[in-house]
Chains A and B, each alone.
Chain A
Amino acid sequence: MGNDEIEDVLGLIHGKKSRLKNKILNSNGIKFRHYAIDKNQQTKISNSNMAANAGEQCLTNSFLSKKQVEMLSCATSQGDLVLPGFGSMVQAELNLSAVELHTSHGICSSSMMALKAAFTNIKSDETKNSLVIASELTSRLFKHTRYERVEGKTVDFNAEFLRWMLSDGAGALLVENKPNSRKQSLRIDWVKSVSHADAYPVCMSVGLPQTEVVEGSYTKTWQDYPTYAEAEQAGALLLRQDVRLLDNIVSVGVQGFIKLIQQGYVKPGEIDHVLCHFSSKYFKSKIMTLLDMAGIAIPEHKWYTNLYERGNTGCAAIFIMLDEFIKTKTLKADEKILCMVPESGRFNCAYMQLTVVDPI
């Protein structure tokens, strides 16, 4: 749906139109998105259902039967249940038997962590293949009623910010130990991630009341209230982004990129396509000009994104992007694709290089 319909779905907080909405939408550039809830804020499809659908479609496009799948590796920011792990629920929905299971927990980069678990498992000959699924259903956190339960009439900026950023979706990849004999494949050259949680405070969170976030200490979390109702009243169940810290993700992302160049993993001149979970405004930042001057920037025409048409779907975004990219582009053998997922949660940046491989 378009931007004019967002509030029809999420609802008006205290019956009033948001004053921030247009400002935030203008800066993130998103034009269309999907929601798994309807205009009465009723869930139309669960997160594990969505994930299973993506997995089903992925297997339908493959040459593998469900019985042959050896591993299921799943990621989400928030499953339908707090426990058990999201992967268990998805496995049951998919009706996959006796797989090795992995669930990675985090925000945007959790899909890359799930993929890395699958990749290393295959590399060490533990399994021959793995289905990797990332799915998000964040819209449930943005229902107007969630904000209305919080004490005080005004919604703080940090709690409203992501309401206009995030939406729902799922994506899946099948990782195998050999290239496909009939269709083009993408070889994973490497997956690297580097986390800087020790250097910065929490930037994106659920579980902290506003005051705790502002003071930078995390002594009282949602579980430390006598009742969940009190935690909700304190605003500890809202999804928040500390926007003051957000700029750090650019420098941290670039720091990791330069490190990969120095270590010889990335050769900027050899990259044909970049898929980055990033807002376009960063192209205009000073640091990008510096990369350009240092001769290590990747020209803008090599950057691909479908963020503006599909929305920011958190950890699922990179898989959804990759899927549409390979379906809509004609790729040549040996072309190199660099994927980047800088996560602002507490500053974890994941990178991956893929190489196009023709059928043998």
Chain B
Amino acid sequence: MEHLVLTPTGKKCLQSLLQVWLNFDLALSKVPIVQRLEQERLSLEDYQHLLVNLRQQVIEGARWITRGASSFEREFVDVRSNIISHAKEEHKDYLLLEKDYVATGGDLVVIQSGSKNVGTEALHSFLMYRASLPNPIDLVGARWIIEGLGNKMATKWSKAIDNQFSFDRSISTFMSFHGKNDEKHMAELYELIDRVCQSEKDVTAITQSAKVVAKLYQLQLEEVDNHQ
């Protein structure tokens, strides 16, 4: 790992973020679609719904990240660069989701014309709002949750999907893709924590945003089963 959290405030922030993550991880285990996925009792239709729902959030992901980058003022110019390069790396992730959907036999038009579920709407709105405020350092908390989920998808969920379905082409490329740059992303995130988390107030703000994002992400997943 290239960078580790070194400052005392950074360590405190990481401790707090770890707690938010573990509570979120536990809460996710009670979300019905996640239970079925992890216990390998997912129907193909379930998985297709999940992909359609995730896509509507992922396609908007690059927007809040780039919006956030542009909200950082000159004293955070280095942070701005970090975020821009991250956004560039991930701004086409939704294409993988679409590819997986088609590989399951889904119609491209359906996933492309899907709308945001209630949770996605709330999550996206929150992220866009925070990203629009000056120097939104609390978004580190949002990124922590989303990186954590990426890791969970790559290490756990993609395997569970592969175990319960068999197709000629992989249908879990979106989930497994997140494992590839994991180390690098985490190192960048730790560097960010050290850079932007400089006071108790910062720890609180970052933790609060992590909690909100976790809760809204949970809502987004709960809503996957609420389709017409």
Contact = CB atoms under 8 A, between A and B. Distances in A.
A13 interface: no
A200 B5 contact: no
B225 to A, nearest CB: 17
Interface in A175-207: 196, 198-201
Contacts of B30: 198-199
Contacts of B19: 255, 258-259, 262
Contacts of A326: none
Interface string B5-40: 100100110110011001101110110000100010
B149 to A, nearest CB: 14
A291 B18 CA distance: 8
Interface string B147-178: 00000000010000000000000000000000
B88 interface: no
A251 B25 contact: yes
B22 A290 contact: no
A119 B170 CA distance: 55
A101 interface: no
Nearest to B27: A199
Contacts of A262: 19
A356 interface: no
Contacts of A252: 22, 26
Interface stretch (A3-11, A92-100, A292-300): A292-300
Contacts of B118: none
A353 B29 CA distance: 29
Interface in A246-281: 247-248, 251-252, 254-255, 258-259, 261-262
B22 A215 contact: no
A255 B22 contact: yes
A351 to B, nearest CB: 15
A226 interface: no
B41 A215 contact: yes
Interface in A23-64: none
Contacts of A294: 5, 11-12, 14-15, 18
A293 B4 contact: yes
A84 interface: no
Contact of A261 (B4, B8, B15, B29): B15
Contacts of A258: 15, 18-19, 22
Contact of B14 (A196, A254, A293): A293
Contacts of B29: 196, 199-200, 248
Contacts of B27: 199
B22 A293 contact: no
B198 to A, nearest CB: 16
A295 B15 contact: yes
A215 B190 CA distance: 40
A2 interface: no
Interface residues of A, number: 23
Contacts of B22: 251-252, 254-255, 258
Contacts of A198: 30
A15 interface: no
B11 A293 contact: yes
Interface in B47-89: none
A199, A216, A291, A294 — most chain B CB neighbours (10 Å):
A294
A293 B194 CA distance: 12
Nearest to A252: B26
Given A216-B39, A293-B4, A294-B5, A196 B15 contact: no
Given A200-B29, A251-B25, A255-B23, A296 B15 contact: yes
Given A201-B39, A255-B19, A258-B15, A293 B5 contact: yes
A153 to B, nearest CB: 24
A104 to B, nearest CB: 24
Nearest to B20: A258
A293 to B, nearest CB: 5
Contacts of B23: 255
A83 B18 CA distance: 44
A247 B4 CA distance: 25
A290 B39 contact: no
A199 B26 contact: yes
A199 B156 CA distance: 17
6 contacts: A199-B26, A199-B29, A251-B26, A254-B22, A255-B23, A291-B18
Interface of A: 196, 198-201, 215-216, 247-248, 251-252, 254-255, 258-259, 261-262, 290-291, 293-296
